[in-house]
Amino acid sequence: MAVQWLLLCHGLVTLLVVVSFLCGQWPIFDGTPIQRIHRFLTFGAYDYFLRLIGYVFGSKGTNMVLAIESFCCDRPNPILQVIYLAIVGITYYIITISTFKYVPGYYLSGIHRYTSFLAVTVGVLLFLLTSFSDPGTVNADNIHRYLSAYPYDNIIYSEKECSTCKILKPARSKHCSICDRCVARFDHHCGWMNNCIGERNTRYFMAFLLWHFFLCVYGAVAIGLVLAGQLKELKVVYILTVYYGVENSFFGLAPYVIQWILGSYNTQLLIMVFLSIVCLLLGGFFGYHAKLCITNTTTNETFKWQEYISWQRKASEAKASAAALRASMDGLSSERKPPESKWRTIFRRSRLEQVQVVKNNTYDHGFLHNIHEVIFPFSSRPSFSRSKPKSG
């Protein structure tokens, strides 16, 4: 059983590292070990690595690493696209050579040989569609249309010029330093797609996430049914209970069944665990972006609102502190009042605790309107191309 426990620990550690690396910056993990692991993986480990390279190879080695970093992170490149295609291709190939020989089986029909290929093909097509579609590039020809579609709220967006493109920046747009273009309703730059996610391709990106979530669920469940079918066809439970005298109960049979699966179907089990982990990550990522779409917010705007609310809260707290200080000074200079009850002093809320900053998202027009705007973006509507610049 030592091997089984080792594999279990390896899977748990892998899950912890993957979740920490991809999701450690989420607000839900603030102050947790996952956030600290994320910081180490994204900043600390790289800093130690640079120091090691500098110590061993000198400044030339450090400059080479920084040049590779610039190519991978600061310029458009297909590295992650190739990695995605390799992951999908290798995973599907392993499944075909290790699992298809048991299909059709006790619980699965032979049609799943073809539906699985169709599902993977659709996933790759959605990936290509998201990667090579226009995210909503803002240029001199369509700037007036985007200015009309997305008015300034004068809270987190105000009229200003893009210092790179030398054109007005419509509200909700952002200049992507990697793609070197202004993108309407900018959400984020996705390295996996080697493309920005913006007004025109958010719908494809959401479809990609949702489809791959269900694809991983389909793969994990299908492999689970294959293993359950082999368990049934080979009469493993019958042999364990009749010939080996194992108690016919879940807790009695589970250790032996797990040992049998690890010994005979370890590849299928590892693929199933891998798909389950990716499924959880995709589900969380899709849920996060679905919430943004429902509230008509983008990832870029989420950070802008955090900065605005933090600044407003500090300003309000400063005003409340000044008011409290004036009140205390006035109290000292006025006539002596009867002492206040200690209990009232304890339970009285501080002026700073009463400070509240409200997020006023003027682009949130309700659930149905927000979803309609994602599925049918402004620039894809006939009225968008017919709109004319305002005179004057």
Residue 135, classed as helix, strand or coil, is: coil
For residue 179, indicate whether it is catalytic. no
CA distance 10 to 255: 18
User: Per the residue annotation, which of 73, 190, 216, 279 is the catalytic one?
Assistant: 190
Maximum Cα–Cα distance across the chain: 95
CA distance 167 to 160: 9
CA distance 25 to 120: 30
Residue whose structure tokens are 């699992």: 99
Q: Residue 196 — φ and ψ, nearest 5°?
A: -80, 155
Contact status, residue 99 vs residue 226, Cβ threshold 8 Å: yes
DSSP 381: S
> Which residue type occupies 247?
E
Residue 115 CA: distances (Å) to CA of 119, 128, 214, 219, 222:
6, 20, 13, 11, 11
Contact status, residue 267 vs residue 98, Cβ threshold 8 Å: yes
**Pairing of the two strands 181-183 and 188-190:** unpaired
In sequence order, the 6+-apart residues with CB closer than 8 A to the CB of 94 are: 267, 271
Q: In the numeric block, which tokens belong to residue 188?
A: 């984020």
CA distance 291 to 309: 19
Annotated catalytic residues are 190
